[in-house]
């Protein structure tokens, strides 16, 4: 159990410019005081992340939005009211409070209010915004437990607040509302359908060459093992081809009911897309731990959280 005293210690570390890893409902974040440029630069150093890649500012309550954003258009208010706290990030025109260090020099800032009791307690006690990327090394799978964070970042982070396993398991959905047309930059914890219902219009999908969001880079979210995409009906064929190529350690990752041919080890995910999202990163890490060199992954349907799971697997396969 998390002690209240660790939240106080976290606040003390953040106030003097240190880094704290904390749980959110999506994945663990590596947090720094968003108004302390040196602290923010330290986040990039620890992650090994290029500094032009912007960070999400995490807020304790929705009413803090106006401090970080210049103009809050009506659709942003509606989405914030409906989905915060929750796994939705909004990209909006930045206020002077959002420094170049946080935004990567862009005129927009990404903000969200996470839905996790420890994150909220921490953000409220801290008072300001926390700039936080996922608490993994750049380009690797995001951490969904405190143990994942420790194994990735080790001694480079002063404190890891343990809030148990993340309930959503994939990163937040990112919507760009900084221009007239709402655009989906990254599918995530809030289904696209739910956003479209609330907005009353379809969401445009960001083009693949939008370099402002490294989460959109094809090679992002990759385990060490190579990933090959499959459907439930062609798993067998895919695995046999790999075994014939001489691949010794082949893993199959798919929903309950998936069948792996002899010679491959099966890693099962729950049947429903939300369950798959929750379990996905943990399973990918387990497969890496066991030293597999290739994963044959069964893609879920594109609906609900299935879209985010497909997106991460597809990027991992690149
Ligand atoms: O669920 C999440 O979003 C997690 C937790 C910790 O909140 N955070 C997370 O952060 O996934 P990160 O840094 O791994 O991914 C943030 C994404 C990046 O793809 C980044 O490029 C994009 O947000 N982003 C941040 N600011 C942006 C901006 N101003 N314009 C466009 N994209 C932006
Ligand atoms: Mg990340």
Q: Is the CB of 134 under 6 A from ligand 1?
A: yes
Smallest CA-to-CA distance from 296 within 226, 222, 205 is with: 226
Q: What is the pLDDT of residue 222?
A: 80
What is the whole-number distance in angstroms between the Cα of residue 257 and the centre of ligand 2?
A: 31
55 Cβ below 6 A of ligand 1 = yes
pLDDT tens for 109-133 read: 999 999 999 999 999 999 999 999 9
Residue 27 Cβ contacting ligand 1 at under 6 Å: yes
Q: Which residues contact 241 (CB under 8 A, 6 or more apart)?
A: none
**Residue 2 tokens, joined:** 């998390």
Which atom in ligand 1 lies closest to the alpha carbon of residue 186?
A: 19
pLDDT computed for residue 211 by the predictor: 43
Give me the pLDDT at residue 224, please: 87
Rounded to whole angstroms, how far apart are CA atoms 98 and 71?
13
Residue 77's SS3 state is helix
Which of 20, 51, 55, 56 should be mutated for ligand 1, with most atoms under 8 A from CB?
A: 56
In a structure prediction context, what are the per-residue pLDDT tens digits for the chain, which is 318 residues long? Answer: 566 689 999 999 999 999 999 999 999 999 999 999 999 999 999 998 888 899 999 999 999 999 999 989 999 999 999 999 999 999 999 999 999 999 999 999 999 999 999 999 999 999 999 999 999 998 789 999 999 999 999 889 999 999 999 999 999 999 999 998 999 999 999 999 999 999 999 999 886 555 455 555 555 678 889 999 999 999 999 999 999 998 879 999 999 999 999 999 999 999 999 999 999 999 999 999 999 999 999 999 999 999 999 999 999 998
Q: Which residues contact 312 (CB under 8 A, 6 or more apart)?
A: 170, 221, 280
Q: How far apart are CA 114 and CA 24, in angstroms?
A: 6
């Amino acid at each position: 159990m998390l002690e209240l005293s660790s939240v106080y210690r976290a606040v003390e570390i953040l106030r003097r410019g240190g880094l704290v890893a904390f749980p959110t409902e999506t994945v663990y974040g590596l947090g720094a005081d968003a108004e302390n440029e040196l602290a923010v630069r330290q986040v990039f150093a620890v992650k090994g992340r290029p500094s032009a890649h912007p960070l999400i500012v995490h807020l304790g309550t929705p009413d803090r939005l106006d401090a970080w954003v210049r103009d809050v258009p009506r659709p942003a208010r509606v989405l914030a009211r409906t989905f915060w706290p929750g796994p939705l990030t909004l990209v909006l025109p930045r206020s002077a409070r959002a420094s170049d260090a946080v935004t990567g020099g862009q005129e927009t800032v990404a903000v969200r209010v996470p839905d996790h009791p420890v994150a909220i307690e921490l953000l409220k006690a801290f008072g300001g915004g926390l700039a936080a990327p996922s608490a993994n090394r750049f380009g690797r799978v995001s951490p969904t437990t405190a143990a994942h964070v420790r194994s990735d970042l080790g001694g480079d982070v002063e404190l890891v607040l343990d809030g148990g396993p993340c309930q959503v398991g994939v990163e937040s959905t990112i919507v760009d509302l900084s221009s007239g047309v709402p655009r989906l930059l990254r599918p995530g914890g809030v289904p696209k359908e739910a956003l479209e219902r609330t907005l009353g219009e379809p969401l445009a999908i960001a083009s693949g060459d939008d370099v402002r969001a490294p989460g959109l880079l094809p090679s992002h979210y990759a385990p060490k093992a190579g990933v090959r995409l499959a459907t439930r009906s062609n798993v067998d064929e895919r695995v046999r081809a790999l075994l014939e190529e001489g691949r010794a350690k082949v893993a199959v990752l798919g929903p309950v009911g998936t069948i792996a041919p002899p010679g491959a080890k099966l890693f099962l995910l729950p049947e429903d897309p939300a369950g798959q999202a929750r379990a996905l990163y943990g399973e990918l890490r387990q497969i890496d731990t066991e030293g597999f060199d290739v994963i044959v992954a069964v893609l879920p349907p594109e609906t609900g959280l299935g879209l985010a799971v497909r997106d991460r697997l597809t990027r991992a396969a690149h």
